[in-house]
Amino acid sequence: MIIQLTTKIRNSVTGLTKRWGPSGLKRELWDKEYAAGKWSHCENTKADPIYSYIEKYCRNGSILDLGCGSGNTSNELAFDSYREYVGIDISEVAIQQAAARSAKNGRLKTNRYQQSDVLSYVPNQRHNVILFRDSLHNIPRPRIKSALDRYRQFLTADGVLIARLSGDDCRDFKEIARLIESNYWVIDRYTGLDSRGVITLLFN
């Protein structure tokens, strides 16, 4: 019981730090987890329905992936479905893993990566798709709308933001979904039926 309580407290503190902590500390936490292989079980998501939406709205254009992790999206999308991909993650270890996967898959000409905090990163071009694949959960709730508003400025004329929301805490991701639905024009959506629940929203 004591061990379980200690673990729960430690996980809660880690989660709060990932949302509210300074960039340097957040980077350290994520680097440690990726280096330890904590997220290696998530490295095969080829069956995720999100890919059909990304490919549809990308229109063979440019993708900005905010919170790209170890490179699932950039290495599992159909090779000919996009022209350019930019992956951003706060973890340098994750970025290195993503680049290694792209090199192995012959995608270094189309894929590039940069270590940065999503809350401070500034794109240098417009993109057809700007993707938050579960990464909105790691942005403090009061800052989500301002982050989305800022990134909307870097969409092409027909571009879309895509947010994939999931997790064990259904209340959390449903509240984020309501925030999006209340403030933006949702043009497409997918609701999963698995036990964890998945909501994918496309909006601008």
Q: Give per-residue pLDDT as tens, 32-62.
A: 999 999 999 888 999 999 999 999 999 999 9
Q: Strand pairing of 127-133 and 111-115?
A: unpaired
CATH code of residue 158? 3.40.50.150
State the residue range of the domain holding 143.
33-203
- In a domain, residue 13? The reply is no
- In a domain, residue 17? The reply is no
Whether the Cβ atoms of residue 115 and residue 167 lie closer than 8 Å to each other = no
Q: How far apart are CA 189 and CA 50, in angstroms?
A: 10
- In a domain, residue 43? The reply is yes
pLDDT at 4: 56
- In a domain, residue 46? The reply is yes
- In a domain, residue 10? The reply is no
pLDDT, mean over the chain? 89
Least confident interval from 23-37, 120-134, 153-167, 168-182: 168-182
Q: Give per-residue pLDDT as tens, 114-155.
A: 999 999 999 999 999 999 999 999 999 999 999 999 999 999
Whole-number Cα distances in Å, 130 to 58, 169, 193: 9, 24, 25
Q: Which residues contact 160 (CB under 8 A, 6 or more apart)?
A: 57, 128, 129, 130, 187, 188, 202, 203, 204
Whole-number Cα distances in Å, 71 to 91, 114, 154, 177: 12, 12, 22, 25
- In a domain, residue 124? The reply is yes
Report the number of distinct structural domains present in the chain. Answer: 1
- The pLDDT-based confidence of 186 (bands split at 50, 70, 90) is very high
- In a domain, residue 18? The reply is no
- In a domain, residue 14? The reply is no
- The pLDDT-based confidence of 195 (bands split at 50, 70, 90) is very low
